[in-house]
Structure 1
């Protein structure tokens, strides 16, 4: 199991962050992601393999300066 935005979900072996976002119907271009408190850039989501007990958070990306 893993935690995704306060939901407890199964964590099948080999599940990537990109796959999880797709399964949850989330638009990957409009959100930022963190796994266990560490920011995960968009280009690393497909290679970020999730583990049992991971905590995944998504949040609105903020752009500006």
Structure 2
């Protein structure tokens, strides 16, 4: 079974049970290089493995903003 989510506005299929950490790994970018939000809620890097993605979820990835 699989589910369909959107990543930065593009549809993507994932296997059931996939987490945000799984998705970030599949994107092929270093996890520390991306900030993530699911359905408009920021998800810290350390919490990604505990966020299970559901059918219809909207995930956004973006470059973290640093500086002072």
Is the structural similarity TM-score above 0.5?
yes
Q: Distance in 1 between matches of 2:36 and 2:13?
A: 18
Q: Distance in 1 between matches of 2:62 and 2:12?
A: 18
**Offset at 1:13?**
1.2
Where structure 1 has 5 or more consecutive residues not aligned to the other structure, the ranges are none
Higher fraction of strand: 2
RMSD after superposition: 0.9
Task: Name the TM-score, length of structure 1 as normaliser.
Answer: 0.92
Q: Distance in 2 between matches of 1:32 and 1:22?
A: 13
